[in-house]
Structure 1
């Protein structure tokens, strides 16, 4: 890019800050009108709840702000690339998206979208597309280099369907070819693709792997969504609950994701989860236990009550067998005469002993966005180094905390 083109892109930052979501909403509407086949690639649930539009607006703004040195965005771009490889996004998709994005800039900005500005953004987008496509090709190459590795979609059979609570059910997924499944880093997710009759579309969804690597199968643990007026996200989760049974075959992409366990060192680890947010943390904790790690491990989990508390017995078993594992469970609704070791109310780190805030302790947080933000800020207030706090927001990434 020329210096003048970079200045033109940077000049659009104030507009993107004020009208970015308007632009990305127009972009998605335009793209799905002209290329409706892409509705089978994109998560239409995130279109309904506006998360995707917001996430894209934030990404475009960040790129414009750092157009002089887009390399500083690599942690963010890696997260996007991880999601893209799980959805089998390929270089040809970037050409379609780019055409609609530039057209949307022209249509939304009107006369302000001069030929020079549109050319600058075209060059900027093509630069970003080249960075992303190259990074994603590297991720694909690493996937196929693993024993049993693959890219794209592969059929898996549901060999076991296990009810973990009144809301959460686990699905044990084995490859139909009978071979091994590649290892993954604890914390990663799978994409699952099902046909959704309500929308007449194939729809992908991401679910954290909730077990440690074992070479034989992957386990995902899915929450049933309540209510009759569901976003498409809830439709997919409920279809797994209601219509996918043992022996059925579903399409799965290779493990992906950057919210992963740092297995190095012997410093303490604290896991903080809300509801189904415990699923990637289950994989991390089980992996540490299976490895024989003696690092102090604290499990902090909150949910509504004992009926919706998945993996309750498993965590109790691990605590009983491993003296370095400690648990703290919060129920927002506690029955009279309930267990003495329960905390009443929402997860509150201030109710716990200061030993969980020892120097060099690492923290992994997963749950709803508000849950993550609350506990992240609480840890920072207690003097915890931000680099030691890891979190994952389910769905498009909209939290900016680090």
Structure 2
């Protein structure tokens, strides 16, 4: 626990640290990778090159310092970070490494402004956050071991089948090499995949794309141009090969607990953002709950799971589907062309807007859908989304160019842009 004096110092210096937060994180990552190269594998280097990981850490640093005396306001963020850490198999011994390098980066950027008292306060603040995260992560690790088929740490899986779902998305069916094959998780969660490519250990997270409680797991991955891991899996991973997985994590999930609200469910996805929605759909379509499944893709050749969703709609009267193609092919028959818009959603939503509204896709798509959901007055508490990648804040689609609100760019839930 921080002392009152240390809390006061953090509050007083938060604006200064915040003003230099990006500079601090720019210094922090190269320093940490130089001192401790073994931790580099835990970080998605594409995010490092794009700068998104550094901006995410800067935002988190400012948020934590700002709310140092109101940590309850960080509850959702702590849960999101803890799930991502568990998917990477982060352990308590990793935290001192980060703390050491973060404090060194603060000192290097702010110089003599960092007095001994300020350094002690920020060191204590970091340790407080580390202790919180370590505690939450231990609960998640223990919970994973208690599920049917659950495990802790790394587990070997064998590829038993691979299915081409679209021109760019392939599903991989995975069975544990040892132990229980029926695995429970919460619809919407993802697994960590650990590979060695060209002698380099890399980690990526991919959404589980089928319902829990089945033999093995399914992940469905978009082949990303220039994507190190997705290209490797599409071009080289074959039936019979083994993959190393961490246990399912993530809190962008469908609430299936007893007594959970059974409002009509809206699943709204763009591109490969469909993958966690397929897990949700497959897990609850037989429940009788009203479901509206809206999917946007470039055309039918880029639309994954189309035949499966169509079959489910024929078998279950409670499922209504709606497809949008930006550039339909000659033989395509989507329900709408172009981009998702207010008219489409308004026609499908009930008048009282009392729905559970889940959406996932590329950032431009999510910006557009978020803006539309707010415009159509869906309660914020009933909106559910997650970025796969460093956490970002959704900005109104109107703030971007017209082309960036297109639904054509595929979602990050099965691409290189995974939370790492």
Interval containing the TM-score (normalised by the shorter chain): over 0.9
SS where residue 238 of structure 2 aligns? Answer: coil
Q: How does 1:226-237 map to 2 (within 5 A)?
A: 226=225, 230=226, 234-237=227-230
Distance across 1 between alignment mates of 2:372 and 2:346: 14
Structure 1 partner of 2:377:
383
Structure 2 partner of 1:224:
223
Q: Is contact 1:266-1:294 (8 Å) kept?
A: no
Q: Is contact 1:224-1:237 (8 Å) kept?
A: yes
Of 300, 322, 329, which residue of structure 2 is paired with 1:328? 322
Q: Is contact 2:346-2:376 (8 Å) kept?
A: no
Structure 2 partner of 1:158:
159
Distance across 2 between alignment mates of 1:43 and 1:153: 18
Q: What is the TM-score when the length of structure 2 is the normalising length?
A: 0.90
SS where residue 393 of structure 1 aligns? Answer: coil
Of 350, 358, 362, which residue of structure 2 is paired with 1:368? 362
Q: Can you list the C-alpha shifts for 1:272-292, whole angstroms capped at 9, x where unaligned?
A: 101000100000011012xx2
Distance across 2 between alignment mates of 1:135 and 1:337: 51
Structure 2 partner of 1:169:
170
Q: How does 1:174-193 map to 2 (within 5 A)?
A: 174-193=175-194
Q: Can you list the C-alpha shifts for 1:290-323, whole angstroms capped at 9, x where unaligned?
A: xx21111111111111111110101111111111
Q: Is contact 1:16-1:57 (8 Å) kept?
A: no
Distance across 1 between alignment mates of 2:161 and 2:148: 24
User: Are 2:297 and 1:303 aligned?
Assistant: yes
Structure 2 partner of 1:106:
107
Root mean square deviation of aligned Cα: 1.6
Distance across 2 between alignment mates of 1:261 and 1:396: 22
Q: How does 1:35-54 map to 2 (within 5 A)?
A: 35-54=36-55
Per the alignment, do residues 308 and 294 of structure 1 end up closer, same or farther by CA in structure 2, a change over 3 Å counting?
same
Per the alignment, do residues 380 and 352 of structure 1 end up closer, same or farther by CA in structure 2, a change over 3 Å counting?
closer
Alignment coverage as a number of residue pairs: 391
Q: Is contact 2:42-2:88 (8 Å) kept?
A: yes
Which deviates further from its counterpart, 16-25 or 27-36? 16-25
Per the alignment, do residues 212 and 177 of structure 1 end up closer, same or farther by CA in structure 2, a change over 3 Å counting?
same
Structure 2 partner of 1:286:
282
Per the alignment, do residues 49 and 380 of structure 1 end up closer, same or farther by CA in structure 2, a change over 3 Å counting?
same
- State the shift of 1:337 in Å: 5.3
SS where residue 67 of structure 1 aligns? Answer: coil
Q: How does 1:29-68 map to 2 (within 5 A)?
A: 29-68=30-69
Per the alignment, do residues 7 and 353 of structure 1 end up closer, same or farther by CA in structure 2, a change over 3 Å counting?
closer
Q: Can you list the C-alpha shifts for 1:62-109, whole angstroms capped at 9, x where unaligned?
A: 100110121321211011000111111011100111011111100011
Q: What is the TM-score when the length of structure 1 is the normalising length?
A: 0.94
- State the shift of 1:373 in Å: 2.1
- State the shift of 1:400 in Å: 5.5
Q: Can you list the C-alpha shifts for 1:27-69, whole angstroms capped at 9, x where unaligned?
A: 1110001001111222222212212111111111110011012
User: Are 2:336 and 1:343 aligned?
Assistant: yes
In structure 2, stretches of 5+ residues that fail to align are 396-420
